[in-house]
Amino acid sequence: MHPVIDSDSCISCGMCADTCPSGVIEIEDVATVANPDDCVGCGACLDACPAGAITEIAED
């Protein structure tokens, strides 16, 4: 699993990046997943996002 961030819903608060134990989320204008291969799939960012802008998808 890895996170997918809806840029239209993201409020750029940084809570997801602060919560991510792998450090794969970066905040610029909106949050982005810099390196999804390093994501451990823990779901912490999903739970931390107050805007509900993050979903997780299964990798093939």
Distance CA 23, CA 19 (A): 8
**CA dihedral sign of residues 51, 30, 4, 20:** negative
Asked if 16 and 56 touch (Cβ cutoff 8 Å), the reply is: no
pLDDT tops 80 at residue 46:
yes
CATH of domain 2-57: 3.30.70.20
pLDDT tens by residue, 17-45: 999 999 999 998 889 888 888 999 999 99
Distance CA 13, CA 41 (A): 21
pLDDT tops 90 at residue 2:
no
